[in-house]
Amino acid sequence: MKKNKDEDKKKFRGEAIVCFIDILGFSDDIRQNWEKPESDPDHPLKKILAIKEKAKNFEFLASDKSQNFPNKNEQIKVTSMSDSFVIRFSIDGILSDCQKIIRIRLFLHLVSAIWVSCILNGYTVRGAISIGDVYWDDDSIIGNTFIDVYKLESTVAKNSRIIISSDMNKELKNLFDMQESLTREWQEFPIWLEEVASILRKDVDGYLILNPKFMLSLAKDNPIIELLSDMKNKVADNIVKEKYTPLINMLKSEDSVPLTASDFGHY
């Protein structure tokens, strides 16, 4: 009986935030450098395992800061598959929209931190974030929300960026619309909402994306722009090379207009 209960705890079905991330350049690195000695610090296996270990540390810290959840399925979970990550965080059954914005804020922090870790190990990323109904266990993640982020990453994101899905965009719009009433419940709500807005920005095609400037702020003194420029220069294919250009230009630009409530809910 105990075994069955333990197995049930590993399964989840409900509302969650989900992110799919593809690590750009890793497949080429594998093809070119797999035969190097594993002791070489630039071996792709060594680098990807370092990213995965860092992600697990972020997962622990984020879950620890969010609350002492009675059900471990409510913690942030990070799963890696070769050159990709799936990150998910249950928001099923939470008591208030104030708690929801706290979890969204924490989730965006974690994804940004994983992006920084990838860059420091020689790769950048492309991905998508959504919110909705999903199922997962130790072996699988299934549902429309996962399909959405996978398709957005592979067909819409195109360049090195992490885009926000229509469902997540609408959820944030609803939270902004309820700001006045929710502020009466929690005085800190506008601060959390403003921080979430600062972690995002609008791209040239109208999609909301994870703000690279926020990612840059997490990198502290690490030369993120220089590292990305080096990655771009090492790419032989001009089409692939251009996947780095919008990100580098965005990080170099001075214009970063904060998002407001009117920027949400348009797709």
* pLDDT tens track for 160-183: 999 999 999 999 999 998 887 777
pLDDT tens track for 196-217: 999 999 999 999 999 999 998 8
Is the pLDDT reported for residue 256 higher than 50? Answer: yes
Range of 17's domain? 2-263
pLDDT of residue 59: 63
Total structural domains within the chain: 1
pLDDT tops 70 at residue 92: yes
Q: What is the pLDDT of residue 153?
A: 97
* pLDDT score recorded for residue 188: 76
Over residues 234-238, the mean pLDDT reads 84
pLDDT computed for residue 66 by the predictor: 47
Per-residue model confidence (pLDDT) at position 4: 52
CATH of the domain at 97: 3.30.70.1230
* Mean pLDDT for all residues in the chain: 86
Which of 53-57, 60-64, 231-235 has the lowest average pLDDT? 60-64
Is the pLDDT score of 139 beyond 70? yes
Closest CA to 16 of 65, 77, 85, 81: 77
- Dump pLDDT digits (tens) for 9-57: 578 899 999 999 999 988 888 888 899 998 888 899 999 888 888 887 7
- At residue 149, the pLDDT reads 98
In the predicted structure, residue 242 carries a pLDDT above the cut 80: yes
Model confidence at 157: pLDDT above 50: yes
Model confidence at 80, pLDDT cuts 50, 70, 90, reads: confident
